Chains A and B, each alone.
Chain A
Amino acid sequence: MNPRILVLGYGNPGRQDDGLGPAVATAIAIQEWPNVTAYDNYQLNIEDALDVADHDVVWFVDAARTGPAPYFVSCLSPALGIEFTSHLVRPEVILAIARQYCGRSPTAFLLGIRGYEFDFLEELTAGAMENMEAAFAMISERIRGAQTAGET
C-alpha cells in the first residue's frame, strides 16, 4: 500500500527566499500525485499535528539562512520545547504533539533549502530558484520512489 505523504512548506513569500518552503509545497501540490498532500503556511502551528498524524511520511520544507547549497535533508524525531512567542513552533514539537496526543509518529524529514536574500520582495533570488529546482527534483524522486516501492 502506498504511504500517505504530506509536504508542508512554510515561510513568507513576501520575504524573498523565505518563500522557498511554500514554493516547493505549491510545486508538489499541482502534480496531484495520489496519496500526496501538500500545503503551505507562513509558519507551523500546533494543529498541524493533526495533519501530520494522518500521514505516514512528512516532509517539512523550510528556507535556510545558513548551511549547504542547494539543500540539506535531515531526519526528524519528536522533541519537546517552548518558545517566547507563539510565532515560533519547531517541526520536532509538531511531531511530539502528534505522537503524544494522536498516538502517531510518522517518518519525518526536514528539507532545508538554502536562501540568500530575505528582504521585502515577493520573488525568489536566482540562486534560491536554482536551489529550489534541485530540491524539487530530489523530493519528487523520493516521493515517486516511495510510491513505487510502497515504502519510504
Chain B
Amino acid sequence: MMSDLQISAGPRKIVIDPVTRVEGHGKVTIRLNEAGEVEQARFHIVEFRGFERFIQGRMFWEVPVIVQRLCGICPVSHHLGAGKAMDVVAGVDKLTPTAEKMRRLMHYGQVLQSNALNFFHLASPDLLLGFEAPVAQRNIIGVIEAFPEVGKWAIFIRKFGQQVIAATGGRRIHPRLCVPGGVNQNLAVEHRDALRKDIDRIIQWCCDALVLYKSFVSSHEELHQTFASFPSSYMSIVGTDGAMDLYDGALRAIDERGTPIFEGAEPVQYCDYLVEEVRSWSYMKFPHIRSLGRENGWYRVGPLAQLNCCAFIGTPLAEAARKDFMAQGHGGPVHATLAYHWARVICMIHCAEVVKELLFDDDLQGNDLVVSGERRPEGISIVEAPRGTLLHHYTVDDNGQVTGANLIVSTTNNNEAMNRSVTKVAMDDLSGHEITEGLLNHIEVAIRAYDPCLSCATHALGQMPLVVTLEDADGSVIATRVKE
C-alpha cells in the first residue's frame, strides 16, 4: 500500500545457520526473478539476536552499566534506556530535577556526538565529494583535504559530545551516571564552565554543517528526492505537547500522509501497538504496527522520523531549520531517504541548543540525586537513540534478578525499510549479472543513511565489512562482491 515495491517472503525459504552464515558484518542478497529482474533485496546483519542473554540473571541495578556493551557507538543510549526502565522497577515514576536534567544533558551530548560521527565520517564523503568519486578519495580524509573546516567540525563536535558524557558520567568511555531512581552525581562547576566556553562555537558549527548540506540538496534536487526513497510510516517518541523530545515521551506513529496511526502510547503499552515478528532467514526481528498488520505495518525510525513525527522543536535554531525541512514534504512527511542526513544535522543543532540551556540551569548543581519507591516486577522504557527509537523491557524477580529482557533497537525498527532502500537501489542500478563498483557504492550510500547498529557484534580481525550476493530465481549464486 505504501509503495510499489514488493518485499515478498521470496520463492525459497532460506535458513541461516552457523555453517552458512557469512563471516562479515553485513550481507546484502539480491534475488532475481525468472525474467532476470530484481525481485527483492535483503540486508542482513549477522550476530544480532541473542543479546538479551547478556542481561538475564543479572541484578537489576547492574543492568544500566552492563547494557553499554550492546553498542560501541551509543552505549549511553542503552545506559539511559536501562536506567529509565530500572526506575520503574525501583518504583520511581518521577526523578528529582537534578537527576532528570543530568540524564538529559548526557543524552543530548551523546546524540550530538553520535550524529556528528555519522554525518561527517559516513555521509559527508558521499555528499560533498559525490557518490561516484573514487573510493580512494571518498572518505573523511578526502573531505578534510577538500573542506578543511569540515574536518575540524567533525572532530571537535564529536570531542565536545564526549566531554559532556565524561562530565556527566565520570569518564569518557564506559560512563556511569544512572542508578535506579536517579543519578550518582551532579555536574561539577568546573566541568560546567569548561563546556560553557565551547558551546556557542559548537552550535555555530552545527549550523554551518546545515548550510553545507543544503548546498548539496540545492545542486542535487532530483537525486536527493529519489535516491533509495519511498513513502512510509514513521514512529518516534514526542513530548506531551508534541515537541521533539529525545529522552522521554510517548510514542507517536504517522502514516505516509502524516495522519496519526496512534499517539500518546506510553512505553508500558508498546505491545498493544507493536508486534515483533521473527523470520527464519534473518537474525533480526521485524517489528510492525499491530493495527496495520505484517505487510503494511512497517515503519521508519531515526532522525527522519523524529522530524516527521514531532509538531515542533522547542529550540529556536532547530525549529527554524525544521520548518524549512518540512516544506520539502508540501504539508506531509518528508520521505527522501537521503533526508535522513538533513534531519540528522537539525537534530545536532537541537541537541547543541538543549545542552546550552542545561549548562545554564542551576538545577544541575543540586544535591538531591535519588528517590526510592516500592519495587515492581517489570520495567519498560523508550528513548530516542541517535538512530531512532530504542525500547528496553525487563522483568525482575523478588530477589532483584532479571528474569526476562526484550530490547527493540533502532536498527531492528528500520529493518524492513533498509531492505526496501536496498531493493530500490538494486532495481535502479543493477544491469546484467554484474555487481559493479557503482552498484556496491550505491548500496552502501543507502545503508549509510540509516547507519545500522551492529549491536553487541564482535569487531575481531578477520571479518569482511560487507558482502553483496546476486542470486537467480532458484537461489543459485550468480555473483558475489566483497567490500574490502
A contact residues vs B (CB 8 Å cutoff): 10-15, 17-18, 39-43, 45-47, 49-50, 62-67, 80-89, 93, 96-97, 100-101, 110, 112, 115, 118, 120
Partner of B460, one of A50, A101, A118: A118
Also in contact, A85 and B159, with CB within 8 A (given A11-B458, A67-B461): no
Partner of A63, one of B75, B158, B447, B460: B460
Partner of A85, one of B151, B152, B452: B452
Partner of B465, one of A67, A83, A112: A83
Residues on A with beta carbons closer than 8 Å to the beta carbon of B457: 12, 15, 87
Residues on B with beta carbons closer than 8 Å to the beta carbon of A40: 173
Residues on B with beta carbons closer than 8 Å to the beta carbon of A84: 26, 443-444, 447-448, 452, 465-466, 483
Distance in Å: Cβ of A136 to nearest Cβ of chain B? 18
Residues on A with beta carbons closer than 8 Å to the beta carbon of B114: 86
Also in contact, A67 and B462, with CB within 8 A (given A80-B141, A84-B444): yes
List 5 contacting pairs A-B, 8 Å CB cutoff, sorted by A: A18-B458, A46-B140, A84-B444, A87-B453, A97-B140
Of listed B152, B159, B457, residue having the most chain A CB within 10 A: B457
Distance in Å: Cβ of A17 to nearest Cβ of chain B? 8
Partner of A120, one of B26, B53, B159: B53
Do B460 and A41 touch across chains, with their CB atoms under 8 A apart?
Answer: no
Residues on B with beta carbons closer than 8 Å to the beta carbon of A43: 72-73, 459
Do B54 and A14 touch across chains, with their CB atoms under 8 A apart?
Answer: yes
Do A86 and B122 touch across chains, with their CB atoms under 8 A apart?
Answer: yes
Also in contact, A12 and B466, with CB within 8 A (given A45-B117, A62-B461): no
Residues on B with beta carbons closer than 8 Å to the beta carbon of A45: 72-73, 117, 158
- 4 closest Cβ pairs, A-B complex: A42-B72, A43-B72, A65-B462, A66-B462
Complex interface bits, B108-146 against A, C-beta within 8 A gives 1, otherwise 0: 000000100110011001000000000111111110110
B contact residues vs A (CB 8 Å cutoff): 23, 25-26, 50-51, 53-54, 66, 69, 71-73, 75, 114, 117-118, 121-122, 125, 135-142, 144-145, 151-152, 154-155, 158-159, 162, 173, 443-444, 447-448, 451-454, 456-463, 465-466, 483
Q: Which residue of B lies closest to A44 (CB)?
A: B459
Distance in Å: Cβ of B240 to nearest Cβ of chain A? 32
Do B142 and A85 touch across chains, with their CB atoms under 8 A apart?
Answer: no
Distance in Å: Cβ of A109 to nearest Cβ of chain B? 13
Do B122 and A82 touch across chains, with their CB atoms under 8 A apart?
Answer: yes
Do B141 and A97 touch across chains, with their CB atoms under 8 A apart?
Answer: yes
Also in contact, A12 and B459, with CB within 8 A (given A97-B141, A101-B155): yes
Distance in Å: Cβ of B153 to nearest Cβ of chain A? 11
Distance in Å: Cβ of A135 to nearest Cβ of chain B? 13
Do B458 and A83 touch across chains, with their CB atoms under 8 A apart?
Answer: no
Partner of A65, one of B23, B121, B139: B23
Distance in Å: Cβ of B283 to nearest Cβ of chain A? 13
A39 to B457 Cα, complex, angstroms = 20
Also in contact, A100 and B141, with CB within 8 A (given A13-B69, A47-B162, A86-B122): yes
Residues on A with beta carbons closer than 8 Å to the beta carbon of B51: 120
Do B458 and A12 touch across chains, with their CB atoms under 8 A apart?
Answer: yes
Do B158 and A85 touch across chains, with their CB atoms under 8 A apart?
Answer: no
Partner of A82, one of B140, B151, B155, B452: B140
Partner of A86, one of B117, B137, B142, B456: B117
Q: Which residue of A lies closest to B144 (CB)?
A: A100
Residues on B with beta carbons closer than 8 Å to the beta carbon of A93: 139-141
Do B54 and A65 touch across chains, with their CB atoms under 8 A apart?
Answer: no
Do B447 and A87 touch across chains, with their CB atoms under 8 A apart?
Answer: no
A80 to B159 Cα, complex, angstroms = 21
